[in-house]
Amino acid sequence: MEFDFDVHKIFLEPITKLDSSLIPSRRPLIASSEAQKQIMTVIDEIGKASAKAQRLPAPITSASRMQTNKHHLYILKDCTPKTAGRGAVIGFLKVGCKKLFVLDQKGSHIEAEPLCILDFYIHETLQRHGFGKELFTFMLKNEQVDVHHLAIDRPSEKFLSFLRKHFNLWSTIPQVNNFVVFDGFFRDWKASVKKTPAKRTEGEIKPYSLTDRDFLKQEEGLPWPFSQSQLNLNRASSLGSSPTRACSRHSPGEEDFVKSLRNCRPHSLHRTANSEQEDHSQRRRTSSLNRPQSIHH
């Protein structure tokens, strides 16, 4: 892909790595403002070409997206003599770390933050010339990551064929998201990976689990005579009889207690209260009589 400016002056290396600052490690040979503008133009154009090749409705790689995300963009330029004039861009590879919930071989959800392949494009006229492998190998070395530990966002069949041919990536682990991981993704893993905690079962809920409730019911006892009715209720339930019918039967001691409560008259309580008041007044008069009288001279 050619441009109306000299690509060699903004990209001094065969492969240039860019981050959110859009400033190459080796500074361009032209003024920074002009170089920044040209770099942004290159990113936007190659992003459009990649979206067109993948039949996407909109580009997923652009200068504005690069400035707002912590992604790395590797741009490969053509260094052959035929492009010695203004140069040309062959393709690019965009990577970035993302937090994902990945399924392992057993189907367990694992939270991970792997390096992800987000966009990959080689110009149509320069494919099958080894440029894709050169760019991919450079990225792996620079990021210091094993190819099995990569997660790939919505790879095309052509991209999967490329990975099988050059990196022997065949068996994939099925996922529920748009990312593809290969067998060996969890092998010798060095990044941050943790399994999501399993949901606790009903029996483990504290402090009032079903077991605790049964225990409290057994410990709490009713005073006599109500404990007898409870005993009869439990006995009737264990024998399979009706609980209501069992509760209607009273023990002899309970019947006497209920009758005594019914025969108890309310005025007896007032009589007891009056007797307590009389005793209190009597004590006050007695204490006043025993008090020694004052002596007058």
Check whether 293 has a pLDDT greater than 80: no
**Which is more confident, 288 or 173?**
173
The pair of three-digit structure tokens given for residue 187, joined into one six-digit string: 């092998």
Angle of the 226-239 helix axis to the 252-263 helix axis, nearest 10: 140
The pair of three-digit structure tokens given for residue 4, joined into one six-digit string: 């109306």
Check whether 292 has a pLDDT greater than 70: no
Q: What's the pLDDT band for 210 if we cut at 50, 70, 90?
A: very low
- Residue ranges of the annotated binding site for acetyl-CoA are 120-133, 156-165
**Which is more confident, 100 or 222?**
100
Q: Are 220 and 246 in contact (CB under 8 A)?
A: no
Work out the average pLDDT over 76-103: 88
Predicted local confidence at residue 188, as pLDDT: 74
Please give the Cα distance from 184 to 167 (Å, whole number). 13
> Which residue segments constitute the domains of the chain, with CATH numbers given?
7-182 (3.40.630.30)
Please give the Cα distance from 69 to 73 (Å, whole number). 11
Q: Are 153 and 50 in contact (CB under 8 A)?
A: no
Work out the average pLDDT over 103-117: 92
CB < 8 Å & 24+ apart, contacts of 7-13: 7/42, 7/77, 7/86, 7/87, 7/88, 7/89, 8/77, 8/86, 8/87, 9/35, 10/35, 10/38, 10/39, 10/42, 11/75, 11/77, 11/87
Predicted local confidence at residue 250, as pLDDT: 52
The pair of three-digit structure tokens given for residue 145, joined into one six-digit string: 């990551």
Check whether 242 has a pLDDT greater than 70: no
Main-chain dihedrals φ then ψ at residue 213, nearest 5 degrees: -65, -45
Q: Are 177 and 99 in contact (CB under 8 A)?
A: no
Predicted local confidence at residue 208, as pLDDT: 36
164-192 b/e (C-beta count within 10 Å ≥ 16 → b): eeebebeeebeeeeebbbbeebbeeeeee
Cα-based distances in Å from 58 to 67, 107, 220: 18, 34, 70
Work out the average pLDDT over 93-112: 93
Cα-based distances in Å from 37 to 30, 94, 169: 11, 20, 38
Predicted local confidence at residue 297, as pLDDT: 43
Instruction: For residue range 149-190, list pLDDT tens digits in order.
Output: 999 999 999 999 999 999 999 999 989 899 999 999 988 765
Give the total residue count for the chain.
297
The one-letter amino acid code at 107 reads G
Please give the Cα distance from 49 to 53 (Å, whole number). 6
Q: How big is the chain by its Cα radius of gyration, in Å?
A: 44
Work out the average pLDDT over 138-150: 97
Predicted local confidence at residue 141, as pLDDT: 98
**Which is more confident, 219 or 40?**
40
Q: What's the pLDDT band for 191 if we cut at 50, 70, 90?
A: very low
**Which is more confident, 101 or 252?**
101
**Which is more confident, 100 or 220?**
100
- Residue ranges of the annotated binding site are 120-133, 156-165
Predicted local confidence at residue 152, as pLDDT: 96
Q: What's the pLDDT band for 25 if we cut at 50, 70, 90?
A: confident
The pair of three-digit structure tokens given for residue 131, joined into one six-digit string: 């440029």
Work out the average pLDDT over 135-160: 96
